[in-house]
A and B are shown apart, each in its own frame.
Chain A
Amino acid sequence: MLRRSLVLLAVVAAALVVTLTGGAARRDAFPVTIHAANGDVVIKSRPTRIVSLSPTGTEDLFAVGAGSQVIAVDNDSDYPKNAPHTTLSGYTPNIEAIATYNPDLVVVSNDIGGVVSALQKLGVTVLLEPAADNLAQAYDEIRQLGQATGHVQQATKVVGGMERSLTKLLRSVPKSQRHLTVYHELDPTYYSATSATFIGRIYKLFGFRNIADAADTTHSGYPQLSAEYIVASSPDIVVLADTVCCGQTAATVAARPGWSGISAVKHGRVIGVNDDIASRWGPRIVDFARAVAAAARKK
């Protein structure tokens, strides 16, 4: 009896192992079709000469464990530090310069100057992973890059980790602090981001009211606010996404004429965040949310 059940158990376990590894192998198997923004892209074999012209794409690739397959990243891809930095430009892409690397996969975040079709003409596989509008899209792009590089499982793990961390951060802010108003600053002339943008949706998750929403008459998502409107709105949280570009800090905000009386300054809820993290849609968005949550917890 005992022996029989043991055998049965062994058989079940073996079957399970076969299913799991077989399943994983099947999902990692090439060729694979990726439903990217430039249509269905077929990747024939595991790419080993990846060029990333998208800073977010670079962060995603390294996060899913495809870093060793990346041979060149553009001049704005400054994270992670050990990425193979080059002078390639994602803003003014030079097809010849990209082709010199003889890439088997190029990741771009926008199709400036027809870079996608130009590279495809040269027989290079291109994945267009544009700026995400929401978290679901950002997660999708991480999964797609995992699939395209043969790292499905780690991509799933990265996305799961992000979801769990964000949920924990949301819960860390007490209900009484969920009604706060927020002003997200993109540059020192008061360009801001509304709740319709990727970064704005993070604030929305927390339940914050975004003062830029009322100003976005053209639905651009990024209106320029008047100083007097910001001061009169007296936002409870001010998030500076212009610390690197423009040297803004809590101190420079407090020193602005008329700003000393606003709620965020009085309660010490003016926070500086890294411009790049706040303008990308990669795994580091969790770091951004952590900084925001810490500010929101201050009474």
Chain B
Amino acid sequence: MAVGSIRSAEAAVRARGVPRPWRLLAGAFLAGSLLVGLGVGPVGIGVTGIVESALSHLPLLHVHSPLSSIDEAVLWQIRAPRVMLAAIVGGMLAVAGSSYQGVFHNPLADPYLLGVAAGSGLGATLAISYAHVGHSGQLLPLCAFLGGLSAVAATYVLGRSAGPARAAGALVLAGVTVTLFLTAIQTFVQQQHTNTLRDVYAWLLGGFSTASWKQVAVAAPYVAVASTAIVLHRRMLDVLSVGDDEATSLGVDVARLRLLLVIAATAGTAAAVSVSGLIAFVGIIVPHTIRLLVSTSYRAVVPLSLVVGAGFLVLADVLARTIVSPAELPIGVVTAFFGAPFFAVVLRSSRGMR
């Protein structure tokens, strides 16, 4: 009977979750993005070459790669990790954004709301300016990660001091305060060390131009755990969306739930930021596009954000490295320039629907 009730509950969730066509569409979008990401780049490598090269890496097939060693390196050591990293970061930022929007009842909440960006930026700047860690060093992502987590911890302590009555609003204000304060320190340190200015800027601008499998390995575990935690709580986000008091009366420990979701979203975002720098917009535009097109239920928004966010950032990165090929554009320029008009179209065309 217990099993039966869980089954029926799962069925209900699925029924009000992601509609089947959207599930297929989102999956196809991500798969297509990954293939385009692997197939397109400043160095022309034919599709058959890529396929045969991929097959040659599989055991027992005895296919020989037709590519030169340089093309092999370009494809598997430069392009493939870049595509993977963009997917991981895009998925994480979008799912964290959707989670923050639910937790704070705030449509403008993005993954950087509670100070992750400013904290990571300060951590990275301190590491570059005082410890002279190279851009490719292992210490840089660690410092950025710790900076991001510390900033959000400070925000949480500050927000809680306002008392439980205005918990969500106080937390957002605390986030703004911490962000401004840390940004001030970061700017000061940066201005005092003009000799490391370029390295700091390169990090702050963000992007995947130096992506490696090592970075994928660094970020993937955090992103996997964090996004899984958020996806598992997607129903709870729906409960939260009715309001703190109502959720409490339904038997939900709102404070604890909020803490858990914030920790998950923050840790994941900090990991993503530590390997890619600051990439704005993904965490807002992807969840809202899904809300407008599919459903406002978090049971749809959260999992679809993960998948679509991954595909979106992979495509944005493809544009970043092909529009002015063989030069690069900063990825933030691409996400905003193509994301904003697309979002405007979605916003307009959905007006009649609701």
* Interface positions of A (Cβ within 8 A of B): 75-76, 91-92, 186-191, 214-218, 223-229, 231-232, 234, 242, 244-248, 252, 256-262, 275
Chain A residue numbers with a CB within 8 Å of B42 are: 226, 228-229, 232
Instruction: With CB as the reference atom, state the residue of chain A lying closest to B132.
Output: A247
A189 with B69, Cβ < 8 A, contacts A245-B198, A246-B198, A258-B78 known: no
Q: Is the CB of B78 within 8 A of A188?
A: no
Q: Is the CB of B327 within 8 A of A224?
A: yes
Chain B residue numbers with a CB within 8 Å of A92 are: 191
Q: Beyond the given A188-B136, A256-B212, A261-B69, could you list 16 further A-B residue pairs with CB under 8 A, ordered by the A residue number?
A: A91-B194, A187-B198, A188-B199, A189-B202, A190-B209, A190-B210, A223-B324, A223-B328, A225-B327, A226-B42, A226-B328, A227-B209, A228-B74, A232-B43, A247-B135, A262-B70
Q: Is the CB of B325 within 8 A of A232?
A: no
Chain B residue numbers with a CB within 8 Å of A231 are: 70, 73-74, 78
B111 CB-CB contact with A under 8 Å: no
Q: Is the CB of A228 within 8 A of B133?
A: no
Instruction: Give Cα A259–Cα B74 distance, bound, in whole angstroms.
Output: 9
Instruction: With CB as the reference atom, state the residue of chain B lying closest to A275.
Output: B195
Q: Is the CB of A227 within 8 A of B198?
A: no
Instruction: With CB as the reference atom, state the residue of chain A lying closest to B202.
Output: A189
Chain B residue numbers with a CB within 8 Å of A186 are: 198
Q: Is the CB of A225 within 8 A of B328?
A: yes
Chain B residue numbers with a CB within 8 Å of A242 are: 198-199
Chain A residue numbers with a CB within 8 Å of B281 are: none
Chain A residue numbers with a CB within 8 Å of B43 are: 228-229, 232
Instruction: Give Cα A234–Cα B68 distance, bound, in whole angstroms.
Output: 12
Interface size class of B (residues with CB under 8 A): 35 or more
Instruction: With CB as the reference atom, state the residue of chain A lying closest to B205.
Output: A189
Number of A-B pairs, beta carbon distance below 8 Å = 124
Q: Is the CB of B213 within 8 A of A257?
A: yes
Q: Is the CB of A232 within 8 A of B70?
A: yes
Q: Is the CB of B73 within 8 A of A261?
A: yes
B163 CB-CB contact with A under 8 Å: no
Chain A residue numbers with a CB within 8 Å of B69 are: 261
Chain A residue numbers with a CB within 8 Å of B132 are: 247
Instruction: Give Cα A12–Cα B214 distance, bound, in whole angstroms.
Output: 79
Chain B residue numbers with a CB within 8 Å of A214 are: 326
A229 with B326, Cβ < 8 A, contacts A188-B210, A246-B135, A257-B81 known: yes
Chain B residue numbers with a CB within 8 Å of A218 are: 324, 327
Min CB gap A79→B, angstroms: 13
Q: Is the CB of A247 within 8 A of B191?
A: no
Could you give, for residues 179-206 of chain B, a 1 whenever the CB lies within 8 Å of some chain A CB and a 0 otherwise? Answer: 0000000000001001111110010010
B238 CB-CB contact with A under 8 Å: no
